[in-house]
Amino acid sequence: MAGGRPEDMPVVAAASEGIGDPAGSYHGPGTSTAGAAVLIVVNGPIARELDINAGDNLFGPGWRANATIGRAVRLVMRNVCGSRPGTLDRGTLGHPGKLSYVIAENEAESPWTPLHVERGFRPEQSAVTVLAAEGPHQFYNQLSNTAEGVLSTLADDMRISGNVMGQPPYVLVIAGEHMRTIAKGGWTKADVRRFVFERTQNSHAHLKRTQRMAGPVKPGDETLMRPLVEAPDDILVVAAGGRAGAFSAYIPGWGSKRSSQAVTKEVKR
């Protein structure tokens, strides 16, 4: 129904298993007015075999596998789970990722450990990671030739993103130019997570002034900090996107770590 090929089906099955995992808490993102979509990140040999895009125009059109796998999972959500707009799906705005939201990690050019290996799988295994997520937010930095410079721009943008009180998982999608700049300094994914975690915290005073936190500003609120996520490991780093262009992106998750987590499942063939 989605236009996919038979060989795409194991990825669709693994992603469907992921959204059915209690840790992902499908009911929340499937019904919330926040309008989250299910982001699917594919790792391992199957991403290359199916030609799932990990490069140029990463979130855009042009790749059958990306479009049809995501559309097939959405049809499962619609026809099996009942997530139809105006009935179970109460998204106020939604976003285009609800049509299809599939990418692969660029393991061939990445200097870092693949996402699925960080999450407990072997490199030769294929896996999908699914999480309820907002749309991608691009950021731009062409000025800096250091990891600190690029990630400072990212953190400043992330710090005031929409979910500053929700503390859901976030995904960082680091594209080619930024990936090379960050890796040149010897930075690992763990280094990226720690740096961004430390620099995306907001003071309670700021959150109250901007009406994100209830109550009056009290003594001590200027220095009392709230992190954007609960821990550095709640930031998933994915190497993907075009080789040229000083752009990368961050993707806020939905809800909170307690209500909806990222789930990784093996693709079985």
Dihedral, CA atoms, 147, 150, 151, 154, nearest 10 degrees? -170
Compute the Cα dihedral for 207, 209, 210, 211 and give only its sign. Answer: positive
CA-to-CA separations, 198 to 62, 229, 259, 263, in angstroms, rounded? 37, 10, 23, 24
What does the pLDDT read at residue 132?
93
What does the pLDDT read at residue 72?
97
What does the pLDDT read at residue 29?
81
Residue 242: closest CA among 196, 178, 175, 193: 175
What does the pLDDT read at residue 65?
97
- 3-class state of residue 146 by DSSP: coil
pLDDT tens for 88-121 read 999 999 999 999 999 999 999 999 999 999 999 9
What does the pLDDT read at residue 227?
94
pLDDT tens for 213-238 read 999 999 999 999 999 999 999 999 99
Q: In the block, which residue shows the tokens 């998750």?
A: 253
Burial of 92 (0-12, 13-18, 19+ CB in 10 A): exposed
What does the pLDDT read at residue 11?
98
Yes or no: say if 202 and 159 are a contact pair by the CB < 8 Å rule.
yes
Taking 50 as the pLDDT cut, the residues of the chain under it are none
Count CB neighbours of 132 within 10 A. 27
What does the pLDDT read at residue 167?
80
Give the distance, in angstroms, between the CA of residue 240 and the centroid of all CA atoms in the same chain.
Answer: 12
